[in-house]
Amino acid sequence: MIKIFDTTLRDGEQSPGFSMNLREKLMMAQQLENLGVDVIEAGFAAASPEDFESVKQIGDVCKKAEICGLARCNEIDIESTIKALKTAAKPRIHVFIATSDIHLEHKLKISRDEAIKKAIMGVKMAKSFTDMVDFSPEDATRSDWNFLVEILNEAVKAGADTLNIPDTVGYSTPEEYGALIKFLKGKVVGGDKVIFSTHCHDDLGLAVANSLAGVMNGAKQVECTINGIGERAGNAALEEVVMAMKTRPDLFKEKINIDTKQLYATSKLLSQITGQKVQANKSIVGKNAFAHEAGIHQHGILSNRLTYEIMKAEDVGRSTNQLVLGKHSGKSALGSRLIQLGIQVSKERMEIIFAKFKALADKKKNIYDEDLIMVAMDYDIEKKYELVDAKIYSEKDKSAKADAVIRIGDKKMNVECESDGPVSALYAAIIKATGLKGKLTSFNINALTPDKEAVGFVKIEWQDQYDKIWYGHGSDTDITIASGKALIDILNRIEIRRMHDEKIGR
Ligand code: KIV
Ligand code: ZN
C-alpha cells in the first residue's frame, strides 16, 4: 500500500495567501478524512497558539486518519506537539533537522555530529509519546548521501518508523530522486523495516514526477497537498499523484486508500476557503482539465471516449451537470449535497445555512456547488464585524456615496461616505465605522459561477499599520457588497488574532 500523507494544513497553509482560521482548518481536515488520506499533518504546534489549537482540535475531531504535528528537534517544539496531540486518537509526530552543509553551516551553525545528536534526541522524545514518528533530514536532496545514511541509521535506532526524504528546495530530478530513495533503502540499517516517504517541492515543476520516481524506487508514502499548495511553488499535488497511480496500474500496482470521487470537492473546498482558485488548465481539478474544445477531439470523443480521455471526470467527482439545487429544494436535499461536498454541519448550524440558502435562492435561480460552499462558509452571524446593510449610489463621472450599517459586536453603526467609486465609498464607510488601519494592497474579483446572476467573489490583501499582510474574501450577488464583505473578513481575521494574543498574554 502507498500511504498518502497530506500536508495541506501545514506546508500548504504556511504559504502566503493560504492561511486558514481554526474553523476552516477543521472543515478541511474533515474533508481530508472523507477523501481517505492516511495522515493529516495538522500544523506546527509550536509556531503559534493558533497552530497549537488547530493541531489539538483536528486531533480530537479526526478519528480515522493519523494526525501529525511537525516539530524541530528541540524540546520546546516536541513538548508542545505532545501536548497538542495528547487527546488525539492516532497521534503522529514528524521531527526534522537540516542535513545539507549549506543549512548546517549557514542556518543552524552546527556540525554534522551535533545534527545527529539532535536528531536522536528529537526522535527519542517523540517516540516516548507515540510509536508513530517520522524523521526528515531537511534539504536531503542537497545533502551528502553518506551523511544521510549516517543520520537515518541513528533515526531508525532511536525509533523512527518513517523516514521522509524532503526535496526542500525543489532541486532534484526524477532520475536523481528515485536513485536517492533506492540508495537510502539499500544502505540504511533496518531500511527494510521502516517506511520511506517522499516530500517534493515544485520549484522546477517536478514535484509530482519526483514523488512518483520515489514510489517507483520503493517509497511507500507520499507527502503532498491539495491543489499542490505549499512553500514557494508548492508541494506535489495530491490529486495528480493519486490519479497518476490510479490511471497507470500497470506501473503502480499498489493500493491507495483515496476515494478519488472526493478529489474535486476537496480541491473546491480549499479554493473556496482560501480564496485561491486553481488555474484553468490545472491537471485533474482545473476548469479545463476535462473540457474538449477542438473539433477533432470532440469528434473522437463522441465516437469513443478513449480516443482523447485517459480518466473519467466522474472518477474524480466532477459531474458535468453542476446545477444542484434551487428555491424549492428542502433541508434534506441541501444536507445531503453539503455532505457530498465534504461539509459536515451540526443541526443548529444547518438551520442558519438553510435560511441563508433560501435567501440566496430567492435572488438567483440556479444554485451551484460553489454557491453552497459559500453559504456554508459564511459565518458572519458569529463574528464581531458584519456588514448588515449598505446602499450604494453611483453615477458615471460622479463621485459615489455609500450609506452602510455595520455591526460591531452587538452595536450597529450607520455611516455615510463619499469617494471616487462605489467600492472605495463603501470601504471608506467601513474604515470610518471600525477604525481599521492600513491600506488595500491587492483587489481581485471573479464570478463564482457561469450564470448571469452569478455570485461575485472578491479577494483582497490588506497591509496593516505594522506591515503585516492579511488576506480576506467575500462573496455576494452584488459585487460591491462582496467587496465590503471581504474587508469585513479582514477585520474579523484581525480580531480573531487579537483575541488569541490577548488570551495568551502576548
Ligand atoms: O520541505 C521540507 O523540507 C519540509 C520539512 C519540514 C519536511 O517541509
Ligand atoms: Zn516542505
How far, in Å, is the centroid of ligand 2 from the Cα of 6? Answer: 11
Q: Is the pTM of this model over 0.85?
A: no
Most confident stretch, 288-292, 368-372, 419-423, 494-498: 419-423
Model pLDDT for residues 268-321, shown as the tens digit of each residue: 999 988 888 899 999 999 988 987 666 677 677 677 778 888 999 999 998 654
Residues 6+ apart with CB under 8 A from 87: 56, 59, 60
Q: Specify the pLDDT at position 380.
A: 47
- The pLDDT mean for the chain works out to 91
Q: Is 69 in the pocket of ligand 1 (CB under 6 A)?
A: no
Give the span between the Cα atoms of 148 and 337, in whole angstroms. Answer: 48
Model pLDDT for residues 337-387, shown as the tens digit of each residue: 888 777 878 888 899 899 989 988 887 766 777 678 778 876 544 689 999
- Which stretch of DSSP H or E encloses residue 323? strand 323-325
Integer angstrom CA distances of residue 328 from 149, 250, 323, 345, 377 = 64, 47, 14, 21, 22
Residue nearest to atom 3 of ligand 1 (CA): 168
Identify which of 7, 41, 70 to mutate to test ligand 1's pocket (most ligand atoms within 8 A of the CB): 70
Region 150-162: mean pLDDT is 98
Region 61-88: mean pLDDT is 98
Q: Specify the pLDDT at position 143.
A: 98
Residue nearest to atom 5 of ligand 1 (CA): 138
Q: Is the pLDDT of residue 457 over 50?
A: yes
Q: Is the pLDDT of residue 59 over 60?
A: yes
Model pLDDT for residues 97-122, shown as the tens digit of each residue: 999 999 999 999 999 999 999 999 99
SS (H, E, C) 352-411: HHHHHHHHHHHHCCCEEHHHHHHHHHCCHHHCCEEEEEEEEECCCCCCEEEEEEEEECCE
Q: Specify the pLDDT at position 21.
A: 87
Q: Provide the sign of the torsion angle of the four alpha carbons 115, 117, 118, 122, taken in this order.
A: positive
Model pLDDT for residues 192-232, shown as the tens digit of each residue: 999 999 999 999 999 999 999 999 999 999 999 999 999 99
Residues in the 5 Å CB sphere of ion ligand 2: 11
Q: Is 136 in the pocket of ligand 1 (CB under 6 A)?
A: yes
Q: Is 77 in the pocket of ligand 1 (CB under 6 A)?
A: no
Give the cell for residue 501.
494574543
Q: Which residues pair with 20 in a beta bridge?
A: none
Identify which of 44, 103, 138, 167 to mutate to test ligand 1's pocket (most ligand atoms within 8 A of the CB): 138
Q: Is 168 in the pocket of ligand 1 (CB under 6 A)?
A: yes
Give the cell for residue 257.
486508500
Give the span between the Cα atoms of 437 and 98, in whole angstroms. Answer: 39
- Which stretch of DSSP H or E encloses residue 460? strand 456-463
- Intrachain domains 3-274 and 385-504 with the same fold: no
Say which CATH superfamily domain 385-504 falls into: Alpha-isopropylmalate synthase LeuA, regulatory domain (3.30.160.270)
How far, in Å, is the centroid of ligand 2 from the Cα of 461? Answer: 25
- The helix/strand/coil state of 479 is helix
Q: Is 202 in the pocket of ligand 1 (CB under 6 A)?
A: no
Q: Is 199 in the pocket of ligand 1 (CB under 6 A)?
A: yes
Residue nearest to atom 2 of ligand 1 (CA): 168
Q: Which CATH class is domain 3-274?
A: alpha beta
Please state the domain extents for the chain: 3-274, 331-378, 385-504
DSSP string, 40-66: EEEE-TTT-HHHHHHHHHHHHH--SSE
Q: Is 143 in the pocket of ligand 1 (CB under 6 A)?
A: no
Select the more confidently predicted residue: 274 or 43: 43
How far, in Å, is the centroid of ligand 2 from the Cα of 96? Answer: 11
Q: Specify the pLDDT at position 300.
A: 75
Q: Specify the pLDDT at position 360.
A: 85
Select the more confidently predicted residue: 377 or 47: 47
